[in-house]
Amino acid sequence: MDQMRVGIIVMELQIMPIILNHQLREQIARDPAIFPVTFFQNELAELPNYTGPLHWHPDFEIATALSGVLDFQIGRQHIVLKAGDSIFVNENVLHGIRQLSGDVPDPMPNIVFSETVIAPESSVIYQKYIRPIAYCDTLPYIVFTKKNGWHSEVNRLVGDICRQMQEKDQCYEMAVQRALSRIFEYIISNFVDLPKSETTRIQSNAQIRLQKMLSYIYEHYSEAVRLEDIARAAHISRSEAGRCFNTYMGCSPVDALIQYRLQIAHGLLRDATLTLQEISDSCGFHSVNYFSRQFRQIYGCTPSQARVLGK
């Protein structure tokens, strides 16, 4: 097996999380030549049961429910988005998504962007209008409902950003920057009245532990990982690791490991040059039969069937 080739394919499929410091913040270097805004769409169609795993990143995120009802998990909270609603997720906040209604996956346009697209950290604009939001521990998210005054204008701006990112007409970057700046102007102007979420020290510590353990899983999933290894990543006992995963994810640490392995394997099936044995080995299963059984439980078909059907 060409391990290097499989590794390159896996890296293309992964959106790796960031290991956070004690303040739940991490500064990362960016290439100034790259426009720091990414647009996603139709991701739910690629996920089992239209459910995305918990993840986090050092960027802001805005997602929209277009046609169905979505359950957005933010930390331990569950927020229901109806068609036409959008949600703003703050930096480094643990979050996941699940579609609650409809047989067809919601397109769920999604914008992930760096704070620097609006203004550099050394600027007055950043210090006055971006930092108060980014560093507000009681503002993990904001919901913009379909029919609610200034929320409607924010949703219109979000839709315009999505269109600009899809079409990429001349000067689209400037149009996107203007729209994001306008959204932050609305947020900061209504900052005092926004609902806040108090997070206890226990909840904060539990989230940090979970992120450390998930980071270990995402980095070592291809290896022989034991429950002890996952717990050790957060310097806690196996029982405490189990409680942490059950509270936030409703499953055991080992189940979370298997789900992530299957997610990577599902993406690798798109490459017809890789055999099922190669995919099984590279995802840490080391048994095609076991891999196939686990895959069928989650996706409702075998890996071979999924490859043929293009699922």
Query: In tens digits, what is the pLDDT along the chain, a chain of 311 residues?
Result: 455 555 544 544 444 444 333 333 443 445 556 899 999 999 888 787 888 888 899 999 999 999 999 999 998 899 999 999 999 999 999 999 999 988 899 999 999 999 999 999 999 999 999 999 999 989 999 999 987 889 999 999 999 999 999 999 999 999 999 999 999 999 999 999 999 987 767 778 888 999 999 999 999 999 999 999 999 999 999 999 999 999 999 999 999 999 999 989 998 998 989 999 999 999 999 899 999 999 999 888 999 999 887 76
Backbone φ and ψ of 87, nearest 5°: -135, 135
Superfamily of domain 31-193: Regulatory protein AraC (2.60.120.280)
CA distance 129 to 178: 14
pLDDT for position 33 = 65
Q: Mapping DSSP to helix (H, G, I), strand (E, B) and coil, where does residue 33 land?
A: coil
User: Is 201-309 a domain of CATH 3.30.470.20?
Assistant: no
Ordered by start, the domain boundaries in the chain are: 31-193, 201-309
| The pLDDT value given to residue 26 | 40
Which amino acid, one-letter code, is at 14?
Q
> Are 31-193 and 201-309 equal in CATH topology?
no
Both tokens of residue 143?
């919901």
Instruction: Please check whether residue 113 is in contact with residue 181, taking contact to mean a CB–CB distance below 8 angstroms.
Output: no
User: What's residue 38's pLDDT?
Assistant: 94
Residue 198 is predicted with a pLDDT of: 75
Q: What is the pLDDT of residue 17?
A: 47
Tell me, what's the pLDDT at 31? 56
Q: What is the DSSP letter of 193?
A: G
Amino acid at 93: V
pLDDT at 5: 52
Which are the contacts of 247, defined by CB distance < 8 A and separation ≥ 6? 76, 206
Q: Is 84 exposed, middle or buried (0-12, 13-18, 19+ CB in 10 A)?
A: middle
CA distances from 256 to 70, 72, 203, 215, 259 (A): 21, 18, 20, 12, 5
